Amino acid sequence: MSYITVKDVKTYYQKTGDGKDAVILLHGWGQNTQMMDPIQEHLSDRYTVYNMDLPGHGQSEEPKYGWSIYDYEEFLELFLKEMQVENPILICHSFGCRIALIYASKRPVKKMVITGGAGIKEKHGADYYARVYSYKAAKKVLTLLHLEKTKQKLMQNAGSSDYRNTSGVMREIFVKVVNEDLSSLLPQVKCETLLVWGDKDEMTPLYMGKMMEEKMPNAGLAVFEGDDHFAYWHQMTRFLAVIDIFLGAKE
């Protein structure tokens, strides 16, 4: 097992392979390296692969204060600097995609794979906002409603037990993260990007993947029919075949 202290957080990571290009795996909220292990194993014969427990998850320490998603992105920058990695390939799911989007909007990325990507706030109709803004504490109500809705969705999916067991600081982080809209950054993500989505995804609905494809200059969308937010995990063999084509087939 390997640990490194980055941004004052003791962080667990796995490094395998010795390829010229580096692949960075970024898991979703409430998850850990195990959710990315099959991808790591599959790619380690061609790439140097880094698979980490993001701060506050798995075997990594929690941040000392309530990080924003931009703190997580700074953590990634510092981690890659320590590993002497430039122009990485990013493969990410859900929460990890938020970090990757910020990083790719301002730094060189060779290629990126986003599956069930978070970062776009959910759409609401005019009637919804009319009701909410009638309250004096509208901003607080919006935050609480959004948090509760997201919490309920998390409870229905893998990683829900991790969410229920989060500490005070991680709950504070969760509120910040889910209320951060990164859609304005999409046009700044210039790298070639593969988007993989389940058409039954209720946590990050398919329209979000379509929006990313539309707004990102060099993105393409692959839809896994009949599957949900964890389509990549449920259809891992198919997912690995798709990323092989995207990254370049084995020689």
Condensed to tens digits (0 to 9), the pLDDT of residues 28-58 reads 999 999 999 999 999 999 999 999 999 999 9
Token pair 């504490």 is at which residue?
137
Q: In what order do the strands lie in the sheet with 9-16?
A: 2-6, 9-16, 48-52, 22-26, 89-93, 111-115, 192-198, 219-224
Which pLDDT value is given to residue 39? 98
Q: How far is CA 139 from CA 135, 145, 169, 177, in A?
A: 9, 10, 21, 16
Question: Of the given ranges (152-161, 164-173, 194-203, 208-217), which has the lowest mean pLDDT?
Answer: 152-161
Q: Are strands 48-52 and 22-26 parallel, antiparallel or unpaired?
A: parallel
* Residue 187, pLDDT above cutoff 90: yes
- Encode pLDDT of 192-250 as tens digits: 999 999 999 999 999 999 999 999 999 999 999 999 999 999 999 999 999 999 999 65
Write out the two tokens for 188. Answer: 């700044």
The SS3 call for residue 105 is helix
The proportion of the chain whose per-residue pLDDT surpasses 70, expressed as a percent, equals 80
* Residue 106, pLDDT above cutoff 90: yes
Which comes out higher in pLDDT, residue 166 or 132? 166
Distance of alpha carbon 43 from alpha carbon 19, whole angstroms: 9
Average pLDDT over residues 143-162: 46
Which pLDDT value is given to residue 168? 85
Which pLDDT value is given to residue 155? 43
Distance of alpha carbon 171 from alpha carbon 19, whole angstroms: 38
Closest alpha carbon to 95 in 2, 1, 229, 187: 229
Which pLDDT value is given to residue 217? 97
Average pLDDT over residues 95-104: 98
Which pLDDT value is given to residue 122? 79
Please answer whether residues 17 and 47 qualify as being in contact, where contact means their C-beta atoms are separated by less than 8 angstroms: yes
Report DSSP letters for 212-227, one per residue.
HHHHSTTEEEEEETT-
- Place 14 in a pLDDT band, splitting at 50, 70 and 90: very high
Distance of alpha carbon 19 from alpha carbon 46, whole angstroms: 5
Amino acid, res. 48: T
* Residue 81, pLDDT above cutoff 70: yes
Superfamily of domain 2-247: Alpha/Beta hydrolase fold, catalytic domain (3.40.50.1820)
